[in-house]
């Protein structure tokens, strides 16, 4: 019988400090909706302020009710990033790719 082991992926905050491995249940969630469609999804450690640079954000695109694309905000180097280095408050101002 083969066993699969998953290595945790290390995520860093804006200060380059490691974020403790956690699951969705351990995260604060924010969402912005258009009708019933989730447009922006944000995750951060509990207690994080919406303006702090500690959020992981994704922008979701739809065709009708079907998700067609998920994009990540670009970091200071212009690269799409799923790191916890963004502000939920500024989500609409980022460039997503």
The 10s digit of each residue's pLDDT in 37-93 is 999 999 998 889 999 999 999 999 999 989 999 999 999 999 999 999 999 999 999
| Statement: residue 8 has pLDDT above 60 | no
Residue 20 pLDDT grade (very low, low, confident, very high; cuts 50, 70, 90): low
Q: CB-based burial of residue 87 (10 Å sphere; 0-12 exposed, 13-18 middle, 19+ buried)? A: buried
Residue 23 pLDDT grade (very low, low, confident, very high; cuts 50, 70, 90): very low
Can you give the pLDDT at residue 10? 59
């Amino acid at each position: 019988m083969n066993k699969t082991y998953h290595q945790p992926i290390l995520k860093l905050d804006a200060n380059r400090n490691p974020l403790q491995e956690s699951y969705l249940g351990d995260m604060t969630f924010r969402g912005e909706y258009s009708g019933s469609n989730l447009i922006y999804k944000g995750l951060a450690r509990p207690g994080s302020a919406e303006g702090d640079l500690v959020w992981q954000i994704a922008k979701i695109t739809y065709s009708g009710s079907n998700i067609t694309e998920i994009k990540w905000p670009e970091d200071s180097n212009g690269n799409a990033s799923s790191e916890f280095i963004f502000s939920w408050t500024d989500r609409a101002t980022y460039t997503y790719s």
